[in-house]
């Protein structure tokens, strides 16, 4: 029995991909206004009691999305430039890039991009929230 547990690299990569896939959605959420201000509609019709505060819920969603987005950016910024570029173009840019297009952009072949992406996903999993995405066997 060793001091370090064995890392499940395939599951760790899947965890990193799932986290990075949320980036575009989180960016859309944080791009919205924190609080939507609407004029109240006053009617004399009976109304059922509200179960919660919609403005508060929207604000909490915005704050949580912003926090998660900052954690993803911090994880990406700790990576080497090539790894960061491959993951950014793959999961964070508004346009969806193929490995071929990423390779053209950074001067690598499609096969090299795939290899860099595999390594970069592990690096991101280690960097994101101090290794929160790492899975063990």
How big is the CA angle at 45 (ends 43 and 51), to the nearest 5 degrees? 95
Token couple for 73: 């950016």
Per-residue pLDDT of the chain (137 residues; tens, 9 = 90+): 566 789 999 999 999 999 999 999 999 988 854 444 444 566 666 666 556 677 788 888 889 999 999 999 999 999 999 999 999 999 999 898 999 999 999 999 999 999 999 999 999 999 999 999 999 98
Phi, psi dihedrals of residue 39, rounded to the nearest 5° = -70, 140
Other CB atoms within 10 A of residue 26 CB: 19
Please report where in the chains the tokens 């109240």 appear, as a residue. Answer: 40
What is the Cβ-side half-sphere exposure of residue 122, based on CA atoms within 13 angstroms?
Answer: 10
pLDDT of residue 3: 67
pLDDT of residue 51: 65
Q: Residues with Cβ < 8 Å from 54, sequence gap 6 or more?
A: none
Global confidence as pTM: 0.80
Q: Is 130 helix (H, G, I), strand (E, B) or coil?
A: helix
pLDDT of residue 56: 82
């Amino acid at each position: 029995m060793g001091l370090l547990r064995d890392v499940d690299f395939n599951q760790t990569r899947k965890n990193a991909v799932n986290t990075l896939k949320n980036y575009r959605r989180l960016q859309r959420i944080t791009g919205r206004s924190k609080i939507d201000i609407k004029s109240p509609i006053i009617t004399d019709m009976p109304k059922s009691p509200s179960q919660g505060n919609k403005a508060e819920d929207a604000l909490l969603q915005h704050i949580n999305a912003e926090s998660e987005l900052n954690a993803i950016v911090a994880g990406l910024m700790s990576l080497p430039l090539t790894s960061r570029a491959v993951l950014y173009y793959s999961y964070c840019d508004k346009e969806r890039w193929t490995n071929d297009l990423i390779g053209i952009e950074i001067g690598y072949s499609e096969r090299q991009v795939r290899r860099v992406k595999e390594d970069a996903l592990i690096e991101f999993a280690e960097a994101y929230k101090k290794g929160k995405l790492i899975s063990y066997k």
